[in-house]
Amino acid sequence: MSTQHWPYPRIVAHRGGGKLAPENTLAAIDTGAKFGHQMIEFDVKLSADAQIFLLHDDTLDRTSNGWGVAGQLPWEKLSQLDAGGWFGNAFSGEKLARLDEVAARCRQHQMMANIEIKPTTGSETETGRAVAQAAAMLWQDQTAPLLSSFSFEALEAAMQTEPQLPRGLLSHSWDPQWREKTTALACVSIHLNHKVLTAERVAELKSADLKILVYTVNSPERARELLKWGKTTALACVSIHLNHKVLTAERVAELKSADLKILVYTVNSPERARELLKWGVDAICTDAIDIIGPDFG
């Protein structure tokens, strides 16, 4: 996939439903769809018996009534947990979601997906390989999901397994080696914390023909700025995914010079979103799905 064929929208619902539903659940995806979002982002990892399911943290404690390292438990145990009660009584009984269930829900809502590969520590290669294989099969009749990860090893395994699936490199901070890494992974996008972006950084990224996705922008003003502002080879990435906090307009320009798409996370300020979009950022991941909607700009 080249950045010339970029089917994804500018606004992405973070973890399915942003701040309005328990993250990484089917209920969250339904919430994102309720607000008209055309694309969601979610995190996946492997159970002890190699089932692919949604969870952000290594451990279960924060977002379920379970405890301990999730990847050390079989799906039979994980499937019995309550993944919604921690968020609110209205979601009590919501279960952890498997990737195949999410694919079906995305098809139902006609939503695209950014699958963040979030391996349990030590299982990077295994997880990247398994997620890529499953994604290629589950989304074969839909727009290909964008695979992203902070783990170079996981993205490399995904590239070697299903090279046709688009990849985006995630980064919390501004990495001086962004060009080398995204090129090695053949990335189409870079995903960043929106706070690291300036108009100059957007221009730098755009010069590399990378799409820029930012996270987590919850301010409409920041979202508009980022949109207004708005490639690489070992992993053949089409995008780079960054914490928006590391971006400046200059950095965006630098990334764009490498023909990379730029995705940023997690932007919850409209002001910051506007700034990033103004710089040329390609997509923004937000928790504020009710304020920074699918038509934000």
Q: Catalytic: 14? A: yes
Cα–chain center distance at 72: 24
CB-based burial, 97-116: b 16+ in 10 Å, e otherwise:
bbbebbbebbeebebbbbbb
Catalytic residue among 5, 56, 172, 244: 56
Q: What share of the chain is helix, strand, coil (3-state, %, to 5)?
A: 35, 25, 40
CB atoms within 10 A of CB 153: 16
Hey, is 286 helix, strand or coil? strand
Sole residue written with tokens 């991941």: 285
- Backbone phi, psi, residue 287, to 5°: -90, -25
CA–CA distance from 181 to each of 121, 211, 215, 232, 292 (Å)? 21, 15, 20, 8, 31
Smallest Cα–Cα separation from 199: which of 268, 239, 263, 256? 256
Catalytic residue among 5, 14, 241, 244: 14
For the chain, the maximum distance between any two Cα atoms, rounded to a whole number of angstroms, is: 50
Tokens 């304020």 belong to 291
Q: Which two tokens stand for residue 187?
A: 């990335």
Return the closest-CA partner of residue 132 out of 145, 123, 119, 141: 145
- As annotated, the active-site residues are 14, 56
